[in-house]
């Protein structure tokens, strides 16, 4: 079997009500854009009947392929699975809720055929998101771009086209904490940006609450910046300087005017303040240590229960085999 020209990667988590609509919308558009495509559907441990619906669609269209993970690993892990398995010459991750408009596919593929290696889709306005989500995401991008290199492009989600060379580069990044936006940006390559307006979710509700988003943001920052680790030595240096000056002042004052003892309230507040700061700095170290802990365990990022649609390539052409053993990312990606 030939490798498809375009691979779409779709993570699915409890999206049964979006299933029919997704394929009805995406497949005709895709078939206008290319003659050879695959839609790699990664079922991320859905508890509803997403998996059986995906199989039903696959029985009508063999270009729909299914990777069923053994449980819910989260969107980033599901995307990693898709990236590892997709064999297309260009790869496009896309949400199942149609918030990544398939109408943009045509322009993305054209830009790629014209030589771009990465085609980013940027949200022009985020009217579909709540005020709080827009504000928090703006702060996050602002903070991230100050702390981490390379900065991630603002208002660009996972929806993008990546050439095979970019995907192969991405597959070499071995880390377990998969902040995909950061990893996508880290690999670089020749990029162009297209703008779009982000529509509302087609059906169902978002799978990300604010706690999940908070942890996601922390993951992004602690995985891509070591500033929270290093800042404390500069801060400590500053505080020590102030303390030395203050001590000199106290000694001089005692010599000149004698001892005077009040100062209980100021002593207590300084102790509390610095204990708080010490705990924050220890917490920041804890964030890194917990990430080191996760990395050294070397567990696979995801586990595959079953794959459908990839067998065909085993018979005819070994080179188009997905180079991912059932049970995790390729060995090369683990080193
Ligand atoms: N998703 C997933 N695993 C999860 C959470 C979400 O595969 O644990 C998928 C979900 O099915 C959808 C995509 O990730 O296809 C984006 O999720 P969602 O629309 O809830 O995110 P939002 O657009 O609200 O940021
Ligand atoms: Mg969505």
Answer with the residue of higher pLDDT: 222 or 202: 222
Residues 22 and 103 in one domain: yes
**Pair 92, 28 in one domain:** yes
The pLDDT of residue 117 is above 90: yes
Q: Look-up: residue for tokens 């029919």?
A: 20
Q: Measured from the CA of 157, which atom of ligand 1 is nearest?
A: 25
Q: Which residues of 289-323 are buried (b: 16+ CB within 10 A; e: fewer)?
A: eebeeeeeeeebbbbbeebbbbeebeeeeeebebe
Residues 136 and 275 in one domain: no
Distance CA 224, CA 288 (A): 11
The Cα angle at residue 201 between residues 307 and 51, in degrees rounded to 5: 20
Residues with CB under 6 A from ligand 1: 11-13, 15, 44, 72, 74-75, 78, 95-97, 99, 201, 206-208
Pair (179, 259) in one structural domain: no
Ligand 2 center to 95 CA (angstroms): 6
Q: Is the pLDDT of residue 127 over 80?
A: no
**125 assigned to some structural domain:** yes
| 141 and 244 part of one domain | no
| Shortest-distance Cα residue to atom 13 of ligand 1 | 95
Which atom of ligand 1 is nearest the CA belonging to 45?
3
Q: Is pLDDT above 50 for 35? A: yes
Residues 144 and 254 in one domain: no
**Domain around 234:** 227-297
> Bridge-partner residues for 192, per DSSP?
119
Q: Nearest Cα to 129, choosing from 208, 49, 186? A: 208
Domain total in the chain = 2
What residue has token string 């070591």? 226
Q: Which residues contact 178 (CB under 8 A, 6 or more apart)?
A: 76, 77, 79, 80, 301
Burial of 78 (0-12, 13-18, 19+ CB in 10 A): buried
- 219 or 92, greater pLDDT: 92
Assess whether 188 and 276 both reside in one domain.
Answer: no
Residues 232 and 96 in one domain: no
For residue 216, the ligand closest to its alpha carbon is 1
Which atom of ligand 1 has the smallest separation from the CA of 99? 23
**pLDDT of 8:** 95
Do 217 and 124 have their domain in common? yes
State whether 112 and 163 are in the same domain. yes
Residue 106 belongs to a domain with what CATH number?
A: 3.90.550.10
- Position 88 scores a pLDDT of 92
In the reported structure, the alpha carbon of residue 295 is separated from the centroid of ligand 1 by a whole-number distance in angstroms of 24
pTM for the whole structure: 0.75
Indicate if 208 and 191 belong to the same structural domain: yes
State mean pLDDT over 164-173: 91
The b/e string for 84-107 (b: 16+ C-beta within 10 A; e otherwise) is: bbbbbbbbbbbbbbbbbbbebbee
């Amino acid at each position: 079997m030939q490798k498809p020209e375009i691979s779409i990667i779709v993570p699915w988590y409890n999206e049964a009500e979006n299933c029919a609509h997704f394929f009805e919308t995406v497949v005709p558009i895709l078939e206008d854009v290319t003659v050879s495509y695959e839609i790699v559907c990664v079922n991320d441990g859905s508890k509803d009947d997403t998996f059986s619906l995906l199989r039903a669609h696959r029985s009508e269209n063999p270009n729909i392929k299914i990777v069923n993970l053994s449980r819910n690993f989260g969107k980033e892990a599901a995307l990693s699975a898709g990236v590892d398995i997709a064999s297309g010459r260009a790869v496009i991750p896309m949400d199942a809720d149609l918030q990544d408009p398939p109408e943009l596919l045509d322009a993305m593929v054209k830009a790629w055929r014209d030589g771009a290696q990465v085609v980013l889709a940027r949200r022009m306005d985020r009217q579909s998101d709540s005020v709080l989500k827009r504000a928090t995401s703006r702060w996050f991008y602002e903070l991230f771009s100050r702390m981490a290199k390379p900065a991630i492009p603002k208002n660009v989600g996972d929806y993008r086209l990546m050439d095979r060379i970019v995907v192969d580069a991405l597959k070499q990044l071995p880390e377990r904490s998969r902040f995909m936006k950061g990893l996508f940006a880290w690999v670089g390559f020749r990029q162009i940006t297209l703008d779009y307006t982000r529509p509302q979710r087609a059906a169902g509700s978002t799978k990300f609450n604010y706690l999940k988003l908070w942890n996601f943001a922390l993951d992004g920052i602690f995985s891509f910046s070591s500033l929270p680790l290093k800042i404390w030595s500069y801060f400590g240096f500053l505080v020590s300087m102030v303390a030395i000056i203050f001590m000199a002042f106290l000694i001089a004052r005692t010599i000149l005017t004698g001892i005077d003892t009040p100062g209980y309230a100021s002593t207590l507040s300084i102790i509390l303040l610095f204990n708080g700061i010490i705990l924050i700095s220890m917490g920041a170290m804890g964030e890194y240590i917990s990430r080191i802990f996760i990395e050294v365990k070397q567990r696979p990022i995801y586990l595959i229960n079953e794959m459908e649609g990839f067998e065909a390539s085993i018979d005819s052409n070994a080179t188009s085999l997905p180079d991912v053993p059932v049970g995790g990312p390729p060995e090369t990606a683990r080193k």
